[in-house]
Amino acid sequence: MKLEREEILSAIYHCVKCKLCSISSFHPTEEWLPLCPSGRFYGYQAFYAPGRLEIFREILEGELSEPTEGLLNAVYACTLCGACYEKCKQITSVEIRLPELFEELRGVLVNKGWFLDTHRKIAEKIKETRNAYGEKDKYKYEYEAKSLYGTDVLYYIGCTARYRVPEIADSMLQIFDKLGIKYQVMEDEWCCGSVLLRTGQVEDAKVLMEHNIEEIKRSGAKTVVFTCPGCLKTFEKDYPDMAVELVHSTQLLTRLGNMKVKRLGMEVAYHDPCHLGRDLGIYEEPRAVLKEVADVKAMKREREQAWCCGSGGGVKSAYGEFALWSAGERIKEAKGAGVEAIVSACPFCKRNLREAAENEGMKVYDVVELVNRSLEG
Query: Which residue ranges make up the site for ligand SF4 (CB under 6 A)?
Result: 15-21, 36-39, 49-50, 52, 78-84, 88, 91-92, 96, 98-99, 308
Taking a C-beta distance cutoff of 8 angstroms, is the pair 193, 208 a contact? yes
158/310 with CB nearer ligand SF4: 310
50/347 with CB nearer ligand SF4: 50
At closest approach, how far in Å is the CB of 211 from ligand SF4? Answer: 29
- What is the spatial distance between Cα 296 and Cα 211, in angstroms, rounded to a whole number? 40
Edge-to-edge order in the sheet of strand 267-270:
295-297, 267-270, 341-344, 363-366
Hey, CA dihedral for 161, 166, 172, 176, is it positive or negative?
A: positive
The CA dihedral of 102, 70, 204, 56, to the nearest 10 degrees, is: 30
C-alpha triplet 212, 371, 154: angle, nearest 5°: 20
In this structure, what are the phi and psi dihedrals at residue 20, rounded to the nearest 5 degrees?
A: -70, -15
82/193 with CB nearer ligand SF4: 82
At closest approach, how far in Å is the CB of 294 from ligand SF4? Answer: 28
- What is the spatial distance between Cα 135 and Cα 22, in angstroms, rounded to a whole number? 38
At closest approach, how far in Å is the CB of 250 from ligand SF4? Answer: 23
78/195 with CB nearer ligand SF4: 78
- Cα–Cα separations (whole angstroms), residue 296 to 25, 48, 286, 289, 373: 22, 32, 11, 10, 17
C-alpha triplet 53, 55, 61: angle, nearest 5°: 100
152/238 with CB nearer ligand SF4: 238
83/349 with CB nearer ligand SF4: 83
38/311 with CB nearer ligand SF4: 38
Hey, CA dihedral for 70, 75, 80, 82, is it positive or negative?
A: positive
At closest approach, how far in Å is the CB of 40 from ligand SF4? Answer: 8
At closest approach, how far in Å is the CB of 47 from ligand SF4? Answer: 7
At closest approach, how far in Å is the CB of 374 from ligand SF4? Answer: 34
At closest approach, how far in Å is the CB of 365 from ligand SF4? Answer: 24
78/323 with CB nearer ligand SF4: 78
At closest approach, how far in Å is the CB of 18 from ligand SF4? Answer: 4
At closest approach, how far in Å is the CB of 45 from ligand SF4? Answer: 10
Residue 188, Ramachandran bin (φ over 0: left; ψ between -120 and 50: alpha; else beta): beta
82/286 with CB nearer ligand SF4: 82
- What is the spatial distance between Cα 307 and Cα 84, in angstroms, rounded to a whole number? 11
Taking a C-beta distance cutoff of 8 angstroms, is the pair 24, 87 a contact? yes
At closest approach, how far in Å is the CB of 184 from ligand SF4? Answer: 36
52/351 with CB nearer ligand SF4: 52
In this structure, what are the phi and psi dihedrals at residue 153, rounded to the nearest 5 degrees?
A: -100, 130
Taking a C-beta distance cutoff of 8 angstroms, is the pair 102, 21 a contact? no
- Which one, of 277, 252, 233, lies nearest residue 82 by Cα? 277
Provide CB contacts within 8 A for 358, sequence distance 6+. none
- What is the spatial distance between Cα 310 and Cα 318, in angstroms, rounded to a whole number? 12
